[in-house]
Structure 1
Amino acid sequence: MDIKFSRCHPITLCLILAVVGMVLGLEDGSKQPLIGAPGAPVGLSESDPELLKAVKFAEQRYNTASNGMHIRRVSKIISANKQLVKGVRYSIMVEIGSTQCKKSAVLGVFDDCEFFLETNKLKTEVCLFEVWDIPWEGKSTLLKQKCQPAVPKETKKVVSVPLYKSKPALESVELLTQFKDFMVKYNRTYSSQEEAEKRLRIFQENMKTAQTLQSLEQGSAEYGITKFSDLTEDEFRMMYLNPLISQWSLQKPMKPASPSRNPAPDSWDWREHGAVSPVKNQGMCGSCWAFSVTGNIEGQWFRKTGKLLSLSEQELVDCDRLDQACGGGLPSNAYEAIENLGGLETETDYSYTGHKQNCDFSSGKVAAYINSSVELPKDENEIAAWLAENGPVSAALNAFAMQFYRKGVSHPLKIFCNPWMIDHAVLLVGYGERNGVPFWAIKNSWGEDYGEQGYYYLYRGSRLCGINKMCSSAVVN
């Protein structure tokens, strides 16, 4: 968003004059979304065959991840739209309820399963599913699943309050001040008045989300304004996250890691032992998988040689034919690609650009190599023991709360952090406790101006956000 105003200076005065009327409720029409713009969402009929196919896919993924005894089915499609985004993205709001079929007795198609008639057994939920379909590759991914119990009809109240008219002037001024400070701190400029107004509205919605996370936080984390505060959840996901990681079917089997010889010590931090390079920045490229893997290999190489190198992520973005560069990737693929290439160059020799280029790998510049890779157990105590004994670990997690994280030990509710919806690869560098609260110390790849000097701290011990589901490491003999 390296953008400039063309008609109004200075930018802050222009923004305030243009937006204050909108925030206080003037009907200038500027807050109406464009309809029919290229790439804009398009509403769908409930009988649309491709929509029904997406609903079935989401329903099956829901049941796979659910611990419930009975199969649950979609009973009603409340709303649905699709958007062309490197494929087709469906956003579907549904009601879902329990059927009389037990999971153990049913495989595959659930159409013949009858719903419970009793309300207490039906356990109706309202769910938002986002399905990303790539028809020409025959692939579908469940990008998002958010469910909450349906409100009984007799207690439902429909209240329509204009978003901006309900805000008092004092809060409006405070919002504008916060947005101005955000723009200054993160060097934001926008191409037009309309773009600035759009980003302000997104900023306001993100502040509400951060407040909700904060009010329901079970740990010590602080959520609020970050450098991602003017991005929608979809923009953030497409620019910085990795939807391919949730594609379990694409993962290649890896050999299991040898058990650690000793139990996990009370705490451990590889930063204190010289095995972790400075925090890097992937930019607006979904290459977190590459940073996770190179961070792991940097630690493994240090453990074997005593030498800490900063290794090249760009080599993987350009030369790994098993993954999709800025479109996402899997650590298991990346290890295989590195073995096939013969190793990794250093960051200095093959520097990061944040977009895919022609492969410029030179075997003569290989600085580190690997012999194989292993998958770690799913038990967090075993992961901690292996990490302390062997080095930093490549991992993945659901990153929804990370968009708004500022500091502290993050412990969001599961509804914000579904462990089956992992979408971001990171590096576990250590673990410990803060004021009696156990945590994982996670090296991120969004720059040092994110979180605590580039690190995210996540509650440890309850498999939170799926942090235990995809832990792996390279092996250097």
Structure 2
Amino acid sequence: MALWLPLLSLLGLIPGAAPAPAKLRDAGAQGWGPPPPALLGPARFALEMYNRGRAAGTRAVLGAVRGRVRRAGRGKLYSLEATLEEPPCNDPMVCQLPVSRKTLLCSFEILDELGKHMLLRRDCGPVDTKVTGAGIPKDAGIAWSDFTQSSVLTPSLSHLYPEDRNETSVLPLLSKDPLPHDFSVKMASVFKNFLVTYNRTYATKEEARWRLSVFISNMMRAQKIQALDQGTALYGVTKFSDLTEEEFRTIYLNPYLREDTGKKMRQARPVDNPAPPEWDWRNKGAVTSVKNQGMCGSCWAFSVIGNVEGQWYLNRGNLLSLSEQELLDCDKMDKACMGGLPSNAYSAIKNLGGLETEDDYSYRGYMQACNFSADKAKVYINDSVELSQNEQKLAAWLAKKGPISVAINAFGMQFYRHGISRPLRPLCSPWLIDHAVLIVGYGNRSDIPFWAIKNSWGTDWGEEGYYYLHRGSGACGVNTMASSAVVD
């Protein structure tokens, strides 16, 4: 971990981080041309990571390479610049860059430790508009005079900028220099599209300007997360893009999970059968539609309720949408919108005597007086169990027993759009879990194993409300707090 801290600090992805170094200087760098033998292995690895998950016919090929190498702890750190030739592609679900941009200039940071390569940074852009570095200026150098009140608050001209819908996938990483004027204008149009897409309005011009500055900083952060992701996920504009990191964590996440001071559950008996290659309870009728917790840190309730819905269906044959609001109001061990623990929620359901349906006890997104009626309870549970941290055993349990409540570190989820997320472990520590979700299935895409995760931020986030996370690596602590209700 000690080696990672200065590297991540340079990239600005830990609190108090300094700006990343500027673009590689010519001094001491290798000349352009075919990669010298010392750089060939790291360059090929960088190309492999760039092409990972891409369909045949869309993979880039390596051109010229230059770079340098220096010692880093027990290994070597390679700083490379390379040109990549990318064939035309029009499918935004497959291609990370638009069709017209074929020749790219990329900067890579690759750590070689004990013979194993790790991609630390990837920054690619068109050769004619390349801007490198990763620092985020607080003001971002915006020329506020470029944006009138009407253009910021009432973005009625967004239909004039259809090409900007996918622009976030190619936003440059910025140095400490002010944003160039044309980029400022481009970001203004992307922000206008954001306002229209998510029906966002602000009370004053000053607030709109502040939110625009937050939006631009967030896009820079999303691009850093994109460059470091080891999966196929695409990060960019989401409905949370105008919130500061602190606002997002305070409103939507659940730091109470880290304390793990809830009721201790007994260990579940393992499933004897091996896990099938893939499984999805959505196709088998055990999962209700994606719900929305709103501006309330109640993910813990949605995770547990989703699990109970699945358990009831598998044991009673009836899929019911159950009440999260009942837990917010009546679970006195947890903290409603301030957070909670699945283990406490199971205990509360059992002690209350069951759960009402969503129709009978509808969601409000804030704590009220408890209005639970035992006469209206439609579902009950007998117990709850803690599951194995072995992901192969989790998959086997899920395939036989049903969806699983888990807790994860939500790093990067503020900007997640689609694909399989696999953040670097130091960025997404399993010890810093802060969001509860529901695993409903698993499988593989382009030979990359994933967990299919039902989230509670509505269908206008992620892949129609779902998040796909790498399976088998303990990514973001997905295996550290797995549990289920027991329905006999």
Q: TM-score, normalised by structure 1?
A: 0.67
In structure 1, C-alpha distance between the alignment counterparts of 2:390 and 2:138, rounded to whole Å? 48
C-alpha displacement at 1:396, in angstroms?
0.6
For 1:198, the equivalent position in structure 2 comes to 210
For 2:196, the equivalent position in structure 1 comes to 184
SS in 1 for 2:412: helix
For 1:209, the equivalent position in structure 2 comes to 221
Q: Deviations over 1:345-397 (max 9, x none)?
A: 00000000000011100000001000000000110001000000100000010
Amino acid at match of 2:202: Y
For 1:387, the equivalent position in structure 2 comes to 398
Amino acid at match of 1:164: G
For 1:263, the equivalent position in structure 2 comes to 274
C-alpha displacement at 1:162, in angstroms?
6.9
For 2:470, the equivalent position in structure 1 comes to 459
For 1:225, the equivalent position in structure 2 comes to 237
For 2:446, the equivalent position in structure 1 comes to 435
Is 2:416 aligned against 1:405?
A: yes
C-alpha displacement at 1:159, in angstroms?
12
Q: Deviations over 1:390-429 (max 9, x none)?
A: 0000001000211110001111112321111000000000
What is the number of equivalent residue pairs in this alignment? 333
Q: Deviations over 1:36-68 (max 9, x none)?
A: xxxxxxxxxxxxxxxxxxxxxxxxxxxxxx799
In structure 1, C-alpha distance between the alignment counterparts of 2:278 and 2:305, rounded to whole Å? 24
What is the identity percentage for the equivalent residue pairs of Structure 1 and Structure 2?
60
For 1:167, the equivalent position in structure 2 comes to 179
For 1:426, the equivalent position in structure 2 comes to 437
In structure 1, C-alpha distance between the alignment counterparts of 2:269 and 2:342, rounded to whole Å? 19
For 1:360, the equivalent position in structure 2 comes to 371
Task: Determine if contact 2:136/2:220 at 8 Å carries over to the other structure.
Answer: no
Q: Which among 249, 252, 256 is matched to residue 244 of structure 1?
A: 256
Task: Determine if contact 1:252/1:332 at 8 Å carries over to the other structure.
Answer: yes
For 2:32, the equivalent position in structure 1 comes to none
Q: Which among 293, 303, 311 is matched to residue 282 of structure 1?
A: 293
In structure 1, C-alpha distance between the alignment counterparts of 2:344 and 2:138, rounded to whole Å? 50
In structure 1, C-alpha distance between the alignment counterparts of 2:136 and 2:244, rounded to whole Å? 24
Is 2:309 aligned against 1:298?
A: yes
For 1:309, the equivalent position in structure 2 comes to 320
In structure 2, C-alpha distance between the alignment counterparts of 1:182 and 1:219, rounded to whole Å? 26
In structure 2, C-alpha distance between the alignment counterparts of 1:415 and 1:163, rounded to whole Å? 27
In structure 2, C-alpha distance between the alignment counterparts of 1:162 and 1:443, rounded to whole Å? 36
Amino acid at match of 1:258: R
5+ residue gaps in structure 2? 4-13, 19-71, 75-119, 121-134, 143-177
For 1:235, the equivalent position in structure 2 comes to 247
C-alpha displacement at 1:209, in angstroms?
0.8
C-alpha displacement at 1:170, in angstroms?
0.7
SS in 2 for 1:199: helix
User: Residue 434 and residue 161 in structure 1: after superposition, are their counterparts in 2 closer, same or farther (change >3 A)?
Assistant: closer
User: Residue 311 and residue 196 in structure 1: after superposition, are their counterparts in 2 closer, same or farther (change >3 A)?
Assistant: same
User: Residue 196 and residue 341 in structure 1: after superposition, are their counterparts in 2 closer, same or farther (change >3 A)?
Assistant: same
Task: Determine if contact 2:439/2:452 at 8 Å carries over to the other structure.
Answer: yes
RMSD over aligned CA atoms reads: 2.5
Amino acid at match of 1:335: Y
Amino acid at match of 1:246: R
User: Residue 272 and residue 201 in structure 1: after superposition, are their counterparts in 2 closer, same or farther (change >3 A)?
Assistant: same
User: Residue 338 and residue 172 in structure 1: after superposition, are their counterparts in 2 closer, same or farther (change >3 A)?
Assistant: same
In structure 2, C-alpha distance between the alignment counterparts of 1:404 and 1:222, rounded to whole Å? 8
For 1:154, the equivalent position in structure 2 comes to none
User: Residue 199 and residue 334 in structure 1: after superposition, are their counterparts in 2 closer, same or farther (change >3 A)?
Assistant: same
Is 2:385 aligned against 1:374?
A: yes
Task: Determine if contact 2:254/2:299 at 8 Å carries over to the other structure.
Answer: yes
Task: Determine if contact 1:401/1:416 at 8 Å carries over to the other structure.
Answer: no
In structure 2, C-alpha distance between the alignment counterparts of 1:161 and 1:296, rounded to whole Å? 42
Amino acid at match of 1:203: F
Q: Deviations over 1:255-286 (max 9, x none)?
A: 00011020111000000110000000000000
For 1:340, the equivalent position in structure 2 comes to 351
Amino acid at match of 1:238: T
SS in 2 for 1:414: coil
Amino acid at match of 2:304: V
Task: Determine if contact 2:139/2:213 at 8 Å carries over to the other structure.
Answer: no
In structure 2, C-alpha distance between the alignment counterparts of 1:370 and 1:253, rounded to whole Å? 16
C-alpha displacement at 1:252, in angstroms?
2.4
Moved over 4 A (4+): 91-95, 158-162
In structure 2, C-alpha distance between the alignment counterparts of 1:475 and 1:333, rounded to whole Å? 14
Q: Deviations over 1:443-472 (max 9, x none)?
A: 000000110010000010000000000000
5+ residue gaps in structure 1? 1-65, 69-90, 96-118, 122-147, 149-157
Q: Deviations over 1:311-331 (max 9, x none)?
A: 000000000000000000000
In structure 1, C-alpha distance between the alignment counterparts of 2:287 and 2:181, rounded to whole Å? 49
Task: Determine if contact 1:244/1:328 at 8 Å carries over to the other structure.
Answer: yes
Q: Deviations over 1:170-227 (max 9, x none)?
A: 1011100010110011011111111111100110010001111111221111100000
In structure 2, C-alpha distance between the alignment counterparts of 1:474 and 1:336, rounded to whole Å? 10
For 2:264, the equivalent position in structure 1 comes to 253
Q: TM-score, normalised by structure 2?
A: 0.65
Amino acid at match of 1:393: I
